[in-house]
């Protein structure tokens, strides 16, 4: 497991835990590069509220990769004596929280955000994994010259994080009926039509539950959940998450249509 060192404490939230800025040196042909990231872990107290945090972040990252969503790379790492997840920082400067983008940009998303269709994909993905936390600090934007590119961060309150926080069992109708998903500022106009979301619903429905042959490529729900080391995620929780993801995948058209109807009409 990679060894990282702490630069500084970034935030200290009683229920959700501390986030640390960390770095490590990596050898490169020209000497050393510095990799930086944000590190978080669940201790006994925070685990009570948000469950197996590092595993949740890693599963969300790997699922997002299957559908080509831009998400910060997550690695399970050790910082001092603590194991947890690091979210790698993109080497672009400056980085902005989505909510820092100017209204000029937010009013002209199709022209000023690169591949802005990915925002529709992200909205559907958040509904699938039950991420209730897509506020304006959980997407990072950076300039690419004439446009802004972006990536998503912080999926700690999705999947096992959401189930642990709310406490309703995974198969409680509560989850199918929940519509209070956040969306990024400026996107309301684009995500309010189900027709535009449907291709991304289908894309998620096309993710295999299990691959027939041994799946080292991490492209099925089963291989992604089962790839998490057992000390980060007990097998009982793995079974729950596979059921939860499969159930929401099957019901996704209905669930997304309900969100659209109740939130936007």
40: exposed, middle or buried (Cβ count in 10 Å: 0-12, 13-18, 19+): buried
Taking residue 261's Cβ as centre, other Cβ atoms within 10 Å add up to: 12
Cβ contact 256:124 at 8 Å: yes
CB nearer to ligand ATP: give 137 or 261.
137
Q: Smallest distance, Å, CB 96 to ligand ATP?
A: 10
Contact characters 135-154, Mg ion, x per CB under 5 A:
---x---------------x
Could you write out the DSSP letters of every residue in 106-118? HT-HHHHBTTTTH
CB closer to ligand ATP out of 95 and 112:
95
Residue 10 interacts, among ligand ATP, Mg ion, none and using kind-specific CB cut-offs from 5 to 8 Å, with ligand ATP
Do 51 and 164 touch, CB atoms closer than 8 A?
Answer: yes
> Which contiguous run of DSSP H or E holds residue 173?
helix 173-177
For residue 140, the partner it binds in ligand ATP, Mg ion, none, with Cβ less than 5 to 8 A by kind, is ligand ATP
Nearer to ligand ATP by C-beta: 119 or 140?
140
**Minimum distance, C-beta of residue 251 to ligand ATP, in the bound complex (Å):** 27
Q: Which residues, including other chains, have CB under 8 Å from residue 264's CB and lie 6 or more apart? A: 188, 191, 192
Decide: is 57 part of the binding site for Mg ion (CB under 5 A): no
- Pick the closest to residue 209 from 244, 246, 238 (CA basis): 246
Give residues in contact with ligand ATP (CB under 6 A): 10-11, 13, 16, 19, 38, 72, 87-90, 95, 133, 137-138, 140, 153-154, 156
Nearer to ligand ATP by Cβ, of 17 and 186: the residue is: 17
């Amino acid at each position: 497991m990679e060894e990282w060192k702490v630069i500084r404490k970034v935030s200290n939230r009683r229920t959700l835990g501390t986030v640390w800025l960390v770095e490590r040196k990596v050898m490169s042909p020209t000497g050393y590069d510095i990799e930086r990231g944000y590190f978080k872990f669940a201790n006994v107290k925070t685990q009570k509220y948000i469950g197996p945090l590092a595993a949740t972040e890693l599963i969300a990252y790997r699922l997002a990769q299957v559908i080509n969503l831009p998400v910060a790379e997550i690695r399970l790492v050790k910082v001092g004596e603590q194991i947890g997840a690091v979210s790698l920082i993109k080497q672009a400067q400056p980085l902005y929280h989505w909510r820092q983008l100017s209204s000029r940009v937010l009013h002209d998303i199709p022209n000023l955000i690169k591949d802005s269709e990915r925002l529709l994909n992200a909205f559907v993905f958040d509904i699938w994994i039950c991420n209730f936390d897509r506020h304006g600090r959980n997407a990072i934007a950076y300039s690419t010259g004439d446009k802004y590119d972006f990536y998503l961060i912080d999926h700690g309150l999705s999947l096992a994080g959401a189930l642990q926080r709310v406490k309703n069992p995974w198969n409680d109708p509560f989850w199918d009926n929940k519509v209070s998903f956040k969306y990024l500022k400026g996107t309301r106009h684009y995500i309010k039509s189900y027709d535009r979301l449907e291709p991304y619903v289908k894309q998620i429905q096309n993710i295999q539950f299990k691959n027939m042959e041994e799946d080292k490529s991490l492209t099925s729900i089963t291989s992604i959940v089962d790839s998490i080391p057992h000390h980060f995620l007990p097998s009982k929780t793995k079974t729950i998450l596979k059921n939860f993801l499969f159930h929401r995948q099957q019901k996704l058209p209905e669930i997304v249509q309900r969100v659209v109807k109740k939130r936007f009409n």
